[in-house]
Amino acid sequence: MEQLVQQIASGLANGAIYACLALALVMIFVSTDHINFAQGEMAMFSAYLAWQLLQWGVNFWIALPLVAFGSFLVGVGIERVILRPLHSAPVLSIVVVFIGLLTIFHSLAGAIWSHTIKDFPSPFPRVTFAGSGYIGPHQIGMIVVTIMLLLALFAFFRFTPLGLAMRAAAQNPASARLAGVRVDWMLALGWGLAAAIGAVAGTIVAPVVYLEPNMMASILLYGFASALVGGISSPGGAVAGGFIVGVLENLIAYFGNLLEKASGVYLIGNGEKLSVALIIVITVLTLRPAGLFGHVSVKRV
Amino acid sequence: MGAVLEVQGLKAFYGQTQALHGVSFALEPGGITTLLGANGAGKTTTLRSICSMVRTEGSIRFDGTDIAGRPTEDIVRLGVGHVPEGRGTFTDLSVEENLRVAAYTRTDKGATRRDLDMVFEYFPILKQRLTQQAGTLSGGEQQMLAISRALMLGPRLMLLDEPSFGLAPLIVQEIFRIMRRINAEAKVSMLLVEQNAALALELADHAYVLETGRVVMSGKSSVVKSDEAIRKSYLGY
């Protein structure tokens, strides 16, 4: 029983990170219809930047917003400088650009900070408390930080004029222009926000997966899975999808282990977690192509 | 008094295809002008040209300023409210959010508030539908919302692209009645594109007739209305 609670708790913690990655993907997808394959590597690069700041003696809670803001600017820059000229290019060209970005960030991180695995100190104190047998302080921290980030984003999109303008631009660019909204800048802003969210996710997960250029590869896959499960066009769905995938992968491994203990048959375990994520994606897409929370928008002509 | 909108030698292109071949016209301030013509004559293209939504050549002056080729957002910010073909509703946003987006560029809070009250006075139904998802509104309500969005910009000129399209005759009458009020009370000049020539000529004081991207006739509505050829081709009697 204790183990089950542990698994769920750590599933939620991982899920929080998947949720962030999924949200970053959705952010770019809703406004441009593109899936940014470089999202994970951008997050990894941001985590390295945070590590560098920590090495220079900057406090983690100052480094995190700094890196998020820096990543925001880089995201905006990438959209304005690299993707803007490809505005009407075919999707395949854009995909190649994304793969190019992925490779660039990957090699750059390796070249600057080397490919050896680095330890990333957790910003949360190693304290024991009631229930610390179930969940560690860093896992709680991961959940709290991401939930705060998600709430802030929700408030931004729901309550600020700029957030509303971004939603309008994503939904109907032509009408948004006719309302005076600078749609091109809204796309760049979306890119910036996605990069910033990724930066927070990458930095906060680094103490768990350790710092190395490949650290986000599997996490990005889980992020894809989460976004697809929740509905690739639904930010709320992506977040829910993140937590669902996080908990589900742990539960499946947990029950696989139980089965093995009880009957001696090895069916599924920790090694198959990633496959489980992909099976979830395929199943959901087969049964509900719009995702669990994606909705087909109502239109009347 | 100078024209609120003066278009000279306007050419428009969709890729390689030329849709307008040197269209010229002028709008008197405070008036309602209509563009008539058959399908494909270039009416919608003319409106889209004014807002830089297609590639154009020629001169377009709004209140004396040359706006040809400037970004759509900048033209809109000068005070051009475009009610687009197909109404352009933000279907997933609520009615209230649709109106708020429309007032996105406004910084004068008090005047914006007054304009919102004015919109609710013209279209009380929108006040009842405020929290409803805009995509679920009826066609007529969406058209009212589209006009309201243009009004929320605080425009001096409104471009209306077939506001009667696909609507029941009673709703059309209602909308045209309110357009006349907006023109008179809010002092907004209007350029109206309509398939329904009889209706348009009744509302407008000036008319231009387009044929395959050229102006073939223009004048006061009363004069255009009584023209033999126009009567036969566009009014059908």
Give A61-92 pLDDT, tens digit per residue.
999 999 999 999 999 999 999 999 988 888 89
Looking at chain A, which residue has its C-alpha nearest residue B132? A298
Question: How close, in Å, is residue B94 to chain A by CA atoms?
Answer: 11
β-pair partners for A145: none
CA-CA distance, A181 to A163, in Å (whole number)? 11
Tell which of A160, A175, A184 to mutate to test the B interface (max B CBs under 10 Å): A175
User: Does the beta carbon of A115 lie under 8 angstroms from any beta carbon of chain B?
Assistant: no
Among partner residues B104, B138, B166, which is closest to A161 by beta-carbon distance? B104
Q: Kindly state the average pLDDT of the residues B184-190.
A: 93
Identify all chain B residues contacting A175, using CB atoms and an 8 Å cutoff.
84, 88-90, 149
Is residue A198 within 8 A of residue A24, CB to CB? The reply is yes
Give residue A123's region: left, alpha or beta (phi > 0; psi -120 to 50). alpha
Residue A299's pLDDT band, with cuts at 50, 70 and 90, is: very low
Q: Is the pLDDT of residue A294 over 80?
A: no
Within 8 A by CB and 6+ apart from A25, the residues are: A35, A36, A39, A194, A223, A224, A227, A232, A238
Q: Does this complex have an ipTM over 0.85?
A: yes
Identify all chain A residues contacting B137, using CB atoms and an 8 Å cutoff.
300
Residue A301, pLDDT score: 44
| CB contact (8 A) between residue B166 and residue A164 | no
Identify all chain A residues contacting B109, using CB atoms and an 8 Å cutoff.
none
Residue A279, pLDDT score: 84
Q: Is the pLDDT of residue B224 over 90?
A: no
User: Does the beta carbon of B190 lie under 8 angstroms from any beta carbon of chain A?
Assistant: no
| pTM higher than 0.80 | yes
pLDDT in tens, A220-262: 989 988 998 888 888 888 999 999 999 988 888 888 888 888 8
Among partner residues A181, A300, A301, which is closest to B73 by beta-carbon distance? A181
Could you tell me the two tokens for A73?
């600017």
Cα three-residue angle B202-B207-B208, rounded to 5 degrees? 150
